[in-house]
Amino acid sequence: MKKIAKENLPKLFAEVSAAMDLFTPVKMADVTNWGLWDDSRVADLDTLKTVKSPKDVFFPQCQTLYMVHHDDNGFEISPMKLTEKPFCVFGIRPCDVKALTVMDQVFLNQEPVDTFYKARREHAVLVSLACHKPAQTCFCKVFGTDAAAPDADVAMWKIDEFFYLEAQTEKGTAWLDQFADAFEDAEGAGDKIAKEQDSIRSIVESLPYTHLSLEGWGPGKVEEKFNDPHWKELSDACLACGTCTFVCPTCQCYDIKDFNTGHGIQRYRCWDSCMYSDFTLMAAANNRLTQMQRYRQRFMHKLVYFPENNNGLYMCVGCGRCVDKCPQALNIVKVIKTMGKENADV
Amino acid sequence: MSEECLCHNDKYVRDALIPQIGIIQKITQETPDVRSFQVIKPGGGKLIDQMPGQCAMICAPGIGEAMFSITSSPTVKEYNEFSIKECGELTTYLHGLHEGDQILVRGPYGNHFPVEDKFKGKNLLFIAGGIGLAPLRSVINYCLAHREDYGTINILYGSRSKKDLVKLEEIQNVWEKAPNTNVYLTIDREDPEWNGHVGFVPTYLKEVGFDTDLTAIICGPPIMIKFCLQGLTELGFSKEQVYTTLELRMKCGIGKCGRCNIGTKYVCKDGPVFRCDQIDELPQEY
């Protein structure tokens, strides 16, 4: 166990960023999002939820795959270089760590492997901060995440004005060793952390969605849930803005597009949303014509199709971002409750 | 797709999303709006080793990328052929290309028709409408190349008019002359240049009245597939005997971008070939 005083963090960040890319939550224009740290920026470790999840760091919102140049001899394809150097993601929350294991199912555990994502995952050191003040919209416990015990290379707790860090993997140990000078020894802090964990877990128990039941969802429910009459009324107010998919840490659908740089064609992929009407639009037809169908697709994918294909793993981690951000208050909690066992008003 | 890429770290194979360069060796105008493109590697040779029914992504940089079925049989070792109907932005661009021009290709993607097991020893009935012949042609030519492995081959093919029949020359010169092979052609409307059958494919299907010992493979416009399925059911076929292909919008081709997801399946990797009883298990969203 190591510790570092809050006031010494900028010094640690300077050392880390001299050695490797360092991503932290950064506040800009009153909004906290993940960014590359440099000494002009102040890491914001107090805000519980970044607006967008750190999936950006591993699966960028826009990412060039390859360039195509064209001359008299024809095309020349230049694939983009993959990440080759270690980098650090400092302050990632337990639900967002869990979200990476969900995305791993798509990008790493189903052939063919996504090499761009794989390179990012393999070179990342995750330093995860426990959630000391979980919010009313948090429901990570429903999906098996413990907000008090981050499951990452290094687990971190903030108690009073100190951050306590414990390595949980070889990669985490090596990272703490690499920057050993920045830390103080904190053997014997176990009791203090256990007490803090108790406090976190008791807050989690008191949150309104913590005991949300997933009964009625999951593998084997395709026909029953697809034909449920509630989809219509639930989706009526949906604006098709796609905010839920963009703030979601597990939504991984993407588009591949072209950008003409003037010197060549950049083929890039970018986040896309199943909520948009052109997501499935073809020259001949569109197989999901109504917003009800698109809305249903998103939740069926997260709560039925994905779990059926991935041993019961849900494509939701209970981060609550969609609960916070949907302008029409149409969120996954409402869907789970309305069509699940609880069938209660939210 | 496992060749090493020089631009990438040794640990990684070339990403599946990165295409290869293909040279259009030959273009054939099949019908007023269908052209066939023979594609080879730069310097010659076949670009993709596929099985019948598998697809490939074709990209025109700056225009777009889409999935097309590989029309040529795997037994053709010199090139891959794609029969493409002009109907959208990318296909219109492709129709404007010339022999010798380059395109980008990646694949093969998806499953294939079960020519090595379920079809073996069976009497087959191929039912195609319009450009729907494209994916079936690879199976038909594969079966004809391994003639002794299959029973009677029946081919029922129809289009709007005579000039819309894709690969008519091959049908008349090769398929109609093949051993133990019956070809039934039809067009939608009367045509002075046509002395064959006139009428829609599903109607002709019932008129001929095929035996129920056949394994049927259907490809064509959704409405034709629907009525052919009804027709086959009326003739006494069960859904386990009938195969078809699905087609939805795709971007990655490898089951990750999410577009072609229906229920627990991704048409790009779990399809495009489905048995009709398997399709019945999917949510009605295709």
Residues B45 and B159 placed together within one structural domain of the fold: no
Cβ A154 vs Cβ A176: under 8 Å: yes
Q: Is A328 on the interface with B (CB under 8 A)?
A: no
Residue that finishes a domain, picked among B46, B74, B108: B108
Q: Is B40 on the interface with A (CB under 8 A)?
A: no
Verify that B132 and B235 share a domain, yes or no: yes
Inside any domain, residue B118? no
Within a domain: residue B257? no
Q: Does A254 touch chain B (CB under 8 A)?
A: yes
Q: What pLDDT is recorded for position A284?
A: 78
Name the residue in chain B with its Cα closest to that of A278. Answer: B249
Residue B62: which CATH number? 2.40.30.10
B185/B223 same-domain check? yes
B151–chain A Cβ distance below 8 A for any pair: no
Does residue B152 belong to any structural domain of this protein? yes
Q: What is the pLDDT along chain A (346 residues), one digit of tens a residue?
A: 999 999 999 999 999 999 999 999 999 999 999 999 999 999 999 999 999 999 999 999 999 999 999 988 899 999 999 999 999 999 999 999 999 999 999 999 999 999 999 999 999 999 999 999 999 999 999 999 999 999 999 999 999 999 999 999 999 999 999 999 999 999 989 999 999 999 999 999 999 999 999 999 999 999 999 999 999 999 999 999 999 999 999 999 999 999 999 999 999 999 999 999 999 998 778 999 999 999 999 999 999 999 999 999 999 999 999 999 999 999 899 999 999 875 554 4
What residues in A contact B8, CB-CB < 8 Å? 79, 81-82, 115
Last residue of a domain, one of B108, B141, B175: B108
Residue A285 has what pLDDT? 84
- Asked if the structure places residue B89 within a domain, the reply is yes
Residue B114 lies in a domain: no
Q: Identify whether B219 is part of a domain.
A: yes
Query: Any CB–CB contact under 8 A between A256 and chain B?
Result: yes
Q: Which residues does chain A have within 8 Å of residue B249's beta carbon, measured at their own beta carbons?
A: 279-282
Residues B190 and B135 in one domain: yes
Residues B80 and B149 in one domain: no
Model pLDDT, residue B263: 95
Q: pLDDT per residue over B167-198, tens digit each?
A: 999 999 999 999 999 999 999 999 999 999 99
Q: Is B177 found in the same domain as B87? A: no
The verdict on B144 and B180 lying in the same domain is: yes
CA distance B40 to B78: 7
Which residue type occupies B246? L
- For chain A, the three-class secondary structure string (H helix, E strand, C coil) is CEEEEHHHHHHHHHHHHHHCEEEEEEEECCEEEEEECCCCCCECCCCCCCCCCCHHHHCCCEEEEEEEEEECCEEEEEECCCCCCCEEEEEECHHHHHHHHHHHHHHCCCCCCCHHHHHHHHHEEEEEECCCCCCCCCCHHHHCCCCCCCCCCEEEEEECCEEEEEECCHHHHHHHHHCHHHCEECCCCHHHHHHHHHHHHHHHHHCCCCCCCCCCCCCCCHHHHHCCCHHHHHHCCCCCCCHHHHHCCCCCCEEEEEEECCCCEEEEEEECCCCCHHHCECCCCECCCCHHHHHHHHHHHHHHHHHHHCCCCCCCCCCCHHHHHCCCCCCHHHHHHHHCCCCCCC
**Domain membership of residue B46 as a residue range:** 20-108
> Strand B181-187 relative to strand B197-198: parallel, antiparallel, unpaired?
parallel
Q: Does B209 touch chain A (CB under 8 A)?
A: no
- Put simply, the answer to whether A115 touches B13 (Cβ < 8 Å) is yes
- Is A75 in the B-facing interface, judged by CB distances under 8 Å? yes
Option in A84, A267, A281 nearest B61 (CB): A267
Interface of B with A in 101-140 (CB under 8 A): 102, 104
Within a domain: residue B7?
no
Q: Do A77 and B9 touch (CB under 8 A)?
A: no
DSSP state of B197: E
Contact B87 A106 (CB under 8 A): no
pLDDT of residue A342: 59
B221 and B142 fall within a common domain: yes
Smallest Cα distance from A296 to chain B, Å: 11
Answer whether residue B103 is part of any domain.
Answer: yes
Contacts of A254 in chain B (CB under 8 A): 251-252, 256-258
Q: Is residue B254 within 8 angstroms of chain A, CB to CB?
A: yes
CA distance B11 to chain A (A): 9
Residue after which a domain boundary falls, among B67, B84, B108: B108
Q: What is the pLDDT of residue B2?
A: 38
Cβ contact A267–B254 (<8 Å): no
**CB nearest to B8's CB, from A79, A112, A297:** A79
Q: Is A309 on the interface with B (CB under 8 A)?
A: yes
B94 close contact with A: CB closer than 8 A = no
User: Contact B102/A75, CB-based, under 8 Å?
Assistant: yes
The CATH number covering residue B186 comes to: 3.40.50.80
Q: Which residues of B are less than 8 Å from A114 in CB distance?
A: 15-17, 256
Report ipTM (2 d.p.): 0.91
Q: Do residue B137 and residue B79 come from a single domain?
A: no
Based on the fold, state whether residues B188 and B237 are members of the same structural domain. Answer: yes
Query: Quick one: B91 and B168 in the same domain?
Result: no
Chain A 183-242, residues with CB within 8 Å of chain B CB atoms: 222-223, 226
Residues B174 and B218 reside in one and the same domain: yes
A321 to chain B, closest Cα gap in Å: 21
Do the Cβ atoms of A282 and B5 come within 8 Å?
Answer: no
Cβ contacts from A onto B, under 8 A? 128
The number of folded domains in chain B is 2
pLDDT given at position A282: 85
Read off the pTM. Answer: 0.93
Q: Which residues of chain B have pLDDT under 70?
A: 1-12
